[in-house]
Amino acid sequence: MARSSGQSPYGALLHTTTVHRGARLPTGQNGAMNTAGAAAPLATSVYADRMARARAQMEAKGIDLLLLSLGLDLPYITGYNAMPLERLTMLVVPRDGEARLVVPRMEAARVTPQPGVFEIHPWGETENPVEIVAALAKQAGPTREVAVGDQMWARFLVELLPLLPAAHYSRADVVTSMRMTKDAAEIAALKAAGAAVDRIAAQLQAGDIPLVGRTEAEVSADLSERIIAEGHQVTNFAIVAAGANAASPHHSAGDRVIRKDEILLTDFGGTMNGYCSDITRCVYLGTPPAEIADAYAVLHEAQRAAAAAGTVGTPCEEVDRVARRIITDAGFGEYFFHRTGHGIGLDAHEDPYIVEGNGLPLAAGHAYSVEPGIYVEGKWGMRLEDIIVATDDGPCPMNVANHELVSIDV
């Protein structure tokens, strides 16, 4: 078990999982964490408040029934992070009436009871859990509008459709929208996770992590181990891309040997007491040529300006435009082909997304990445990323590691 570098208000450590070779955890959409990285349950009053707010949103949106299965909306509102099993787990929340967590009997002991928030409804191996969900829905009264969690397996939804034939189904943006706005304790957890990966970035930039002569996979494994040593319970990803490989934003670290006189892109993060970190820093192994130094100066300015643009009330798409405008004006527009950022919290990627077309105004408590990149296929790539939290006093960075393209003598 990894040693914690400090106890978060989000509870005690669980067990350690490490992922190497730059791969994201295969445990859910957008790199969702598995139960190894889940935070310990909070006080029942926290979940009672979240349930009350969820029901208020259901009322406002005309939703009769909320169904949450896999994904991080479920632990946010109950404290229980379901394993991605073929056995159905489903939180059934009627707008009025008691919420019930339908859970396999063999998993029920893992659920921390939250009296007054939900009741546990275990089901046995010979029962049909989808029929149980439908019966509970019908007990709550007429079910016309049903909001379904993004990560419910299609097999269960398909089986539910004929059992509630009068229902109209939509995405459950109820809890998802609540999760966008972090409270003080959540921001403190993000800051602690960000400080941990900052320390690793500083080690990289100081030349304390051997690079030249090692494979990308070996350095990825090294970063993964350091993430755990710094107090994370899970390494979610450790991208290491050398030279031309850095032109692939989500390159999978492999047997390519890192050499002198090339750029090295590293993008790594994990889950620490339930909340995610994510940082990208590049180093140059030797003295960077003018082509790379000049491009990085543009990237640095774009990232700095976009981070500063994230004030409360500013549309998410405007932050994207700020970064893109600087890169485009410098002649690199075609080489910046992904969004500027993504939200972060319990999940490595969640709302709000910093991308053209998202007119949502930033609100105090929104946490997101700012990570413009420039990628020239067959030659080199670069990206610079921090996590930012919008506050009434302006953007607050969760990462402060050196933003320069550090040259490492080799």
pLDDT tens digits, one per residue of 242-301: 999 999 999 999 999 999 999 999 999 999 999 999 999 999 999 999 999 999 999 999
Q: Domain 181-408 sits in which CATH superfamily? A: Creatinase/methionine aminopeptidase superfamily (3.90.230.10)
Work out the mean pLDDT of the chain and round it to a whole number: 90
Best CA proximity match to 100, nearest among 127, 53, 65, 61: 65
- pLDDT tens digits for 22-66? 443 333 333 333 445 667 778 999 999 999 999 999 999 999 999
Token pair in block for residue 220: 């990825």
- Please say whether the beta carbons of 385 and 269 come within 8 A: no
Question: Is the dihedral angle over the CA atoms 116, 122, 128, 130 positive or is it negative?
Answer: positive
Strand order across the 367-370 sheet: 350-354, 341-343, 367-370, 386-389, 396-397
Q: Does domain 44-179 have CATH number 3.40.50.300?
A: no
**Residue 173: per-residue pLDDT:** 84
Closest CA to 304 of 199, 406, 386, 201: 386
The residues of the chain that CATH labels 3.40.350.10 are 44-179
List, by residue range, all CATH 3.90.230.10 domains of the chain.
Answer: 181-408
**Two structure tokens written together for 186:** 């959540």
The list of the chain residues with pLDDT below 70 reads: 1-38
Cβ-in-10-Å burial (0-12, 13-18, 19+) of 166 comes to: exposed
Bridge-based pairing state of the strands 168-171 and 341-343: unpaired
- Look at the block and give the residue holding tokens 């993964």: 224
